[in-house]
């Protein structure tokens, strides 16, 4: 506006470069001057960036596409030639002609004593071009090429066979010398014995004929698809999945987004605090003639500097943490991790965005504080809380969009998963101001200290809301990780038995009941009972039926026995699919598995598998007996747990006989490694085979580490926020002290502030975690039934109680005399 007497033109509306320089200079000076106050914010930003760097690297490494099967090959052809070396040799010849294979790996299975498991004896050239990523020498040396007496074992195979380096080991009845310890670095649970073949066409593995062959090739897909090995060989082809990398990238992107959101929230909470602390100075600057943009620049400049310093420190911290964390992840990830195999591009983007996040996070408090009238700012009164209606509307929209995305993703569409996670997390976080207002609204009926605290939280809504959002995310992440770890531990596809179950069988071959003397049977029963007693459990005998009219036959483990009755359905003119175990519903099994015989009156077979209703009986002299099958409740999530039962009435009707073929033990606690090992030893001694759940160590560590990190971050945010809220309320505190309030009242104020924020944050965080997981697992809600009570109870009452106790302990000091608030 041109006006008489006034000069308002020229030199730029906002002062140009000199003005920006002056404001940033002041920001930098304040950052340096108040470095002790900034340490907490910088530490939080650095720790969050560090956690994001380490977490991103871990996510990348954990989800790296497994090359344990492929090595560096594009495709693997599995050929089964039985035990005929000539036939296998002709197949290898065909492969050599048609595919020019890069590497051939031969296999032979041998039984593990005392276990249902078998060991893969593998013939592989350790220096093969594309198979070598599947092999690493840990100790000793590789066996000599073509040697029929030397073998190398993985550590797990050495344990199972009680073998040691340089000692003997008997595999499938042949004695060999262990010359080395090896592993598959791309698949650590790969248990095998390694022999080195004499050449690419060799069909002997450690002097014994191979039964299957893997041909690893880089040949183009059309060539592989048209390859025919000839004869009646069974052939299956696996191609490396190129989509895995995309899905992995999408997941990493989602993790990075949430991590950056956490950085931004921590920074926002911090800058809301800084903004309030600088309010009077900013008011002075406004009175001096600074424009809104210049006032915003004070905090935005501070944000940029914080971002630069915090990100640099965080990157160093994250890299330093990654070095010791990487080996800890190898076991849960199932493969060795190269510390330099990190997503460099994602990390670079993360660091750039991490620098910008505090800058962007500072913008909102800067905008709010620049709008505060100078007179109000000079009096240091916080801006009036804005209505939460808009944020609630945005929260509802984001939440709904996120839920829809997650449900539609089926957990397979990476983009929808990422959008869903971001939507739900954003939605939940936007509820924070509403929660703060709700807390303040409930203050009227509370005791004096709580009332004052809740109203202060409401008065300082900007910083309380940001802090609550940061705590929510800090707690929500570990809760989600804990639940997911529980899901992974209980996924049926990955579980044969639960961690507290043991299944013992009298034969490795489930289709044959061995013919044993009464003395042998008594000895087995005694050994099993003794083992069960050591676990504090009872062994439930498992009985199978057999047709006495069917002649005895040899099982796969060489034991002579009777063919057991099984149930299944016809899959072809001359083929059947069995039920993998048909047990007689004795009173003991009815009790152990919670069957209800009354609901299956008249049925020949009861099953806990819903899809298994059209079954015929197999194994009797008549071969095929149509039966009535009834489904009963209590579906098992585990693949080896008995699920199909033959009723005693059916046994009697067909005049079959029964024999004990195994025992089921359900211990009152999860089995330790020593107890699993004892089961195997007992079974080997008593002529039985045992089956227990494969250990999934590492997920528990991940669960606890995430809870600890989340709790520490939440407490850090709390310390930063509560400290400043109480500092702003120092006048109230002095008034209280002057009116006779003692240290108890002062302690109660700080403790209640910390406790209220922490409780609200943890509850909202837990709710947010389930808001992500429930729609993501909408079709498999049963997987979420394993609630991780211990980590959850540690996080939810633990963090608020710790915050409460810390607040109580540190807040007893009597405030200094009536001090005046000076800018300097």
Partner 1 sequence: MTGVPPLELRGVSRTYGEGAAAVHALTDVDLTVSAGELVAVMGPSGSGKSTLLTIAGSLEEPTTGDVLIEGTPLSGLRRNDRARLRRRHIGYVFQDFNLLAGLTAVENITMPLELDGVRTRQARAAGLKALEDLGLADRADAFPDELSGGQRQRIALARALVGERRLLLADEPTGALDSHSGEGVMRLIRSACRSGAAAVLVTHDAQLASWADRVVFVRDGRVVDSTPPPPGPESLLPGATGREAR
Binding residues (CB under 8 A) for partner 1: these are 1, 3-8, 11-19, 21-23, 25-26, 29-30, 32-33, 280-281, 284-294, 373-375, 378, 820, 822-824
Nearer to partner 1 by Cβ, of 288 and 598: the residue is 288
The structure tokens 């929660």 sit at 435
The least distance separating partner 1 from the CB of residue 21, rounded to whole angstroms, comes to: 7
Smallest gap from residue 720 Cβ to partner 1 (A)? 21
- Considering beta carbons, is residue 348 or 823 the nearer one to partner 1? 823
Integer distance in angstroms from the first to the last C-alpha of the chain? 36
Other beta carbons less than 10 A from residue 49's beta carbon: 31
User: Which of 4, 519 has the CB closer to partner 1?
Assistant: 4
The whole-angstrom separation of Cα 66 and Cα 190 is 12
Q: In terms of CB distance, is 24 or 695 closer to partner 1?
A: 24
Q: Decide: 360 and 303 in contact? Cβ < 8 Å.
A: yes
Burial of 72 by CB count in 10 Å (0-12 exposed, 13-18 middle, 19+ buried)? middle
Q: CB 424 → partner 1: shortest distance, Å? A: 39
**Distance between CA atoms of 616 and 578, rounded to whole angstroms?**
9
**Cα–Cα distance between 740 and 90 in angstroms, integer?**
98
Under a CB-based contact definition with an 8 Å cutoff, are residues 300 and 363 in contact? yes
Q: Return the number of the residue (131 or 303) whose C-beta is nearest partner 1.
A: 303
Our CB check for partner 1 shows the closer of 13 and 785 to be 13
Evaluate whether 194 touches 152 at the Cβ level (below 8 Å): yes
Tell me the closest approach of the beta carbon of residue 291 to partner 1, in angstroms.
5
Nearer to partner 1, 42 or 428 (CB): 42
Q: Provide CB contacts within 8 A for 797, sequence distance 6+.
A: none
Report the nearest approach of partner 1 to the CB of residue 377 (Å): 10
Q: How far is the CB of 17 from partner 1 (least distance, A)?
A: 8
> 428 is written with which tokens?
């939940």
Which CB, 19 or 503, lies closer to partner 1?
A: 19
DSSP for 103-117, written as a single string: EEEEEEEEEPTTBS-
Alpha-carbon distance 819 to 191, whole Å? Answer: 72
CA 211, distance to chain mean position in Å, is 37
Return the number of the residue (295 or 711) whose C-beta is nearest partner 1: 295
In the bound state with partner 1, the residue whose beta carbon lies nearer, of 23 and 265, is 23
Distance in angstroms (rounded) separating the CA atoms of residues 467 and 758? 9
Cβ 461 to partner 1 shortest distance, Å: 21
Residue partners of 448: CB distance under 8 A and separation at least 6: none
DSSP annotation of 6 reads B
Nearer to partner 1, 285 or 497 (CB): 285
| Shortest Cβ 371–partner 1 spacing (Å) | 9
Sign of the torsion angle spanned by Cα atoms 365, 716, 766, 783: positive
Our CB check for partner 1 shows the closer of 809 and 823 to be 823
Three-class DSSP category at 657: strand
> Least distance (Å) from partner 1 to the CB of residue 376?
9
Residue 19 CB, nearest approach to partner 1 (Å): 5
Q: Which is nearer to partner 1, 8 or 493 (CB)?
A: 8
Q: Which long-range contacts (CB under 8 A, 24 or more apart) does 329-333 make?
A: 329/58, 329/61, 329/62, 329/698, 330/188, 331/188, 331/697, 331/698, 332/62, 332/696, 332/697, 332/698, 332/699, 332/701, 332/702, 333/61, 333/62, 333/64, 333/698
Q: Minimum distance from CB of 4 to partner 1 (Å)?
A: 5
Closest separation between CB of residue 282 and partner 1, Å? 10
DSSP 207-274: TEE-SEEEEEE---HHHHHH----TT-EEEEEE--THHHHHHHHHHHHHHHHHHHHHHHHHHHHHHHH
- Residue 535 token pair: 């676990």
Backbone angles phi, psi at 626, to 5 degrees: -65, 140
Distant-in-sequence, close-in-space partners of 784: CB < 8 Å, separation ≥ 6: 483, 486, 487, 770, 773, 774, 777
Shortest Cβ distance from residue 444 to partner 1 (Å)? 20
Q: Which is nearer to partner 1, 374 or 637 (CB)?
A: 374
Minimal distance, residue 363 CB to partner 1, in Å? 18
Q: Cα-Cα-Cα-Cα dihedral of 20, 21, 27, 32, to 10°? A: 170
């Amino acid at each position: 506006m041109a006006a008489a007497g006034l000069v308002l033109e020229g030199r730029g509306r906002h002062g140009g470069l000199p003005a920006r320089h002056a404001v940033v200079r002041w920001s930098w000076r304040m950052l340096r001057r108040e470095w002790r106050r900034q340490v907490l914010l910088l530490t939080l930003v650095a720790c969050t960036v560090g956690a994001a760097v380490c977490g991103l690297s871990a996510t990348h490494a954990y989800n790296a596409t497994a090359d344990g099967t492929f090595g560096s090959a594009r495709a693997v052809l599995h050929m089964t030639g039985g035990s005929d070396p000539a036939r296998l040799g002709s197949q290898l010849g065909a492969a050599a002609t048609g595919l020019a294979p890069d590497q051939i790996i031969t296999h032979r299975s041998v039984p593990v004593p005392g276990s249902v498991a078998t060991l893969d004896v593998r013939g592989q050239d350790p220096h093969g071009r594309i198979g070598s990523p599947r092999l690493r020498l840990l100790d000793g040396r590789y066996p000599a090429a073509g040697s029929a007496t030397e073998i190398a074992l993985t550590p797990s195979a050495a344990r199972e066979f009680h073998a040691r380096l340089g000692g003997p080991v008997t595999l499938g009845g042949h004695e060999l010398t262990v010359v080395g310890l090896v592993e598959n670095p791309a698949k650590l649970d790969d248990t095998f014995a390694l022999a080195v073949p004499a050449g690419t066409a060799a069909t002997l593995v450690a002097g014994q004929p191979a039964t299957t062959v893997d041909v690893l090739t880089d040949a183009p897909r059309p060539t592989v698809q048209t390859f025919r090995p000839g004869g009646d060989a069974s052939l299956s082809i696996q191609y490396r999945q190129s989509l895995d990398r995309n899905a992995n990238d999408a997941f990493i992107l989602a993790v990075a987004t949430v991590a950056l959101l956490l950085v931004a929230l921590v920074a926002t909470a911090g800058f809301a605090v800084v903004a309030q602390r600088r309010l009077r100075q900013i008011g002075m600057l406004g009175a001096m003639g600074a424009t809104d943009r210049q006032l915003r620049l004070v905090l935005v400049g501070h944000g940029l500097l914080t971002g630069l310093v915090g990100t640099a420190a965080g990157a160093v911290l994250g890299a330093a943490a990654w070095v010791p964390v990487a080996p800890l992840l190898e076991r849960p990830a199932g493969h060795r991790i190269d510390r330099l195999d990190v997503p460099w591009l994602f990390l670079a983007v993360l660091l750039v965005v991490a620098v910008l996040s505090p800058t962007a996070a500072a913008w909102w408090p800067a905008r709010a504080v620049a709008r505060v009238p100078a007179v109000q700012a000079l009096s240091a009164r916080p801006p009036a809380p804005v209505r939460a209606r808009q944020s609630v509307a945005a929260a509802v929209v984001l939440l709904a969009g996120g839920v829809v995305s997650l449900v539609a993703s089926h957990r397979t569409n990476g983009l929808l998963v990422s959008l869903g996670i971001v939507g739900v997390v954003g939605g939940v976080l936007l509820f924070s101001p509403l929660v703060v207002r709700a807390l303040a609204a409930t203050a009227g009926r509370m005791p004096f200290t709580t009332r004052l605290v809740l109203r202060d939280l409401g008065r300082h809504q900007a910083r309380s809301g940001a802090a609550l959002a940061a705590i929510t995310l800090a707690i929500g992440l570990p809760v989600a990780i804990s639940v997911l770890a529980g899901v992974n531990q209980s996924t049926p596809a990955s579980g044969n038995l639960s961690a507290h179950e043991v299944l013992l069988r009298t034969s490795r071959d489930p289709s044959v009941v061995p013919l044993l003397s009464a003395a042998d049977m008594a000895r087995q029963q005694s050994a099993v009972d003794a083992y069960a007693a050591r676990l504090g459990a009872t062994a439930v005998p498992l009985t199978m039926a057999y047709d006495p009219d069917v002649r005895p036959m040899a099982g796969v483990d060489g034991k002579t026995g009777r063919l057991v009755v099984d149930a299944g359905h016809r899959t072809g003119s001359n083929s059947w699919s069995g039920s993998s175990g048909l047990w007689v519903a004795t009173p003991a099994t009815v009790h152990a598995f919670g069957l209800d015989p009354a609901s299956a009156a008249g049925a020949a077979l009861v099953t806990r598998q819903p899809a298994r209703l059209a079954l015929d009986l197999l194994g009797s002299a008549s071969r095929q007996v149509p039966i009535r099958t009834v489904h009963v409740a209590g579906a098992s999530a585990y693949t080896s747990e008995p699920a199909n039962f033959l009723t005693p009435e059916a046994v009697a009707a067909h005049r079959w006989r029964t024999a004990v073929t195994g025992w089921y033990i359900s211990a009152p606690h999860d089995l330790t490694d020593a107890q699993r090992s004892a089961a195997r030893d007992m079974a080997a001694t008593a002529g039985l085979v045992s089956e227990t759940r494969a250990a999934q160590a590492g997920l528990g560590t991940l669960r606890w580490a995430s809870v600890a990190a989340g709790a520490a971050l939440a407490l850090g945010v709390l310390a930063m926020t509560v400290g400043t809220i109480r500092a702003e309320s120092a006048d109230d505190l002095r008034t209280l002290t002057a009116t006779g309030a003692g240290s108890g009242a002062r302690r109660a104020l700080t403790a209640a502030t910390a406790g209220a924020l922490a409780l609200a944050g943890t509850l909202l965080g837990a709710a947010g975690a389930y808001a992500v997981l429930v729609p993501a697992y909408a079709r498999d809600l049963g997987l979420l039934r394993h609630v991780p009570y211990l980590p959850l109870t540690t996080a939810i009452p633990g963090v608020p109680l710790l915050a409460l106790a810390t607040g109580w302990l540190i807040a007893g000091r009597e405030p200094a005399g009536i001090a005046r608030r000076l800018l300097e």
